[in-house]
Amino acid sequence: MGVAYMQDGELQDTTLILVRHGQTVWNREERWQGQKDSLLTALGQEQAARMAERLASLKIGALYSSDLGRAKHTAEIIAGRLGLSVTLREDLRERSYGVLEGKTSREAAASEGSWFLTWNADHLRQSPPAGETEQVLRERAVEALNEIADAHPGETVVVSTHGGPIKSTLFHLFSIPLALWRLTWVANGSLTTLRGTRDVMRLMTWNDTCHLQPAAPSAEDMED
């Protein structure tokens, strides 16, 4: 993650501010979203606006986004406040959940049969039908962020994406055991900041939601 660039004999750090999109209707209804889309709720739009205000005091070099509507809408709200354009990337998308997309876990258990319960018990290593594994998600997310860092040495860059890509990147960079996946969280409207070079990437913030209080929902939304 990040690339070492020289300026006056010193390495320049790249700062990546990873933004999880605002709350969507399907987040609120606890449906698997994956690569299907759902509109931001009023709360989700407020979360995006609060992120924009939080970021307005920083010197932001560029703004990237997943091309899925919920991340794109979040990025557009931020872009409007910061006076930036949004560069869309397909490889910043959420993990594909295939046949599960649009369903709640209860609906999936009822309609998809016993495979769903088996898959859900080991959902990181296995892919649902027509979906992706966590490893596939991790590889494309990490490569996307490397490419963005390569293009912006010494700059601060905002990336509007999803809970899955953010968590997969963190678990990869810091060798966090996958067994801890469900014990960690990336909230809607949160900021996660990385800074460093390819050899040494530091975690500055994880799931920072200070700007959302007291607007953040009390219940945890599904991460995708």
158-170 pLDDT tens trace? 999 999 999 999 9
Q: In the predicted model, is pLDDT for residue 114 greater than 80?
A: yes
Which residue carries 């050899």 as its tokens? Answer: 199
Confidence of residue 201 (pLDDT cuts 50, 70, 90): confident
Burial of 109 (0-12, 13-18, 19+ CB in 10 A): middle
Residue range 211-219: mean pLDDT, rounded? 68
Give the residue with greater pLDDT, 50 vs 5: 50
Span 54-111, pLDDT tens digits: 999 999 999 999 999 999 999 999 999 999 999 999 999 999 999 999 999 999 999 9
Active-site amino acid positions: 21, 94
Asked whether the predicted pLDDT for residue 18 surpasses 70, the reply is: yes
pLDDT tier at 218, thresholds 50, 70, 90: very low
Classify residue 9 by its DSSP letter: T
Amino acid 208 reads: D
Confidence of residue 222 (pLDDT cuts 50, 70, 90): low
According to the model, what pLDDT value does residue 221 have? 57
Residues with Cβ within 8 Å of residue 42, at least 6 apart in sequence: none
Q: Does domain 5-95+133-212 have CATH number 2.140.10.10?
A: no
Collect all residues with Cβ–Cβ distance below 8 Å to 146 and sequence separation of at least 6.
1, 2, 3, 198
Angle between helices 69-82 and 42-55 in degrees, nearest 10: 40
Domain ranges of the chain: 5-95+133-212
- Over its C-alpha atoms, the chain yields an Rg (Å, rounded) of 17
What does the pLDDT average to over 203-223? 76
Helix (H) or strand (E) holding 194: strand 191-196
Q: What is the pTM of this model?
A: 0.91
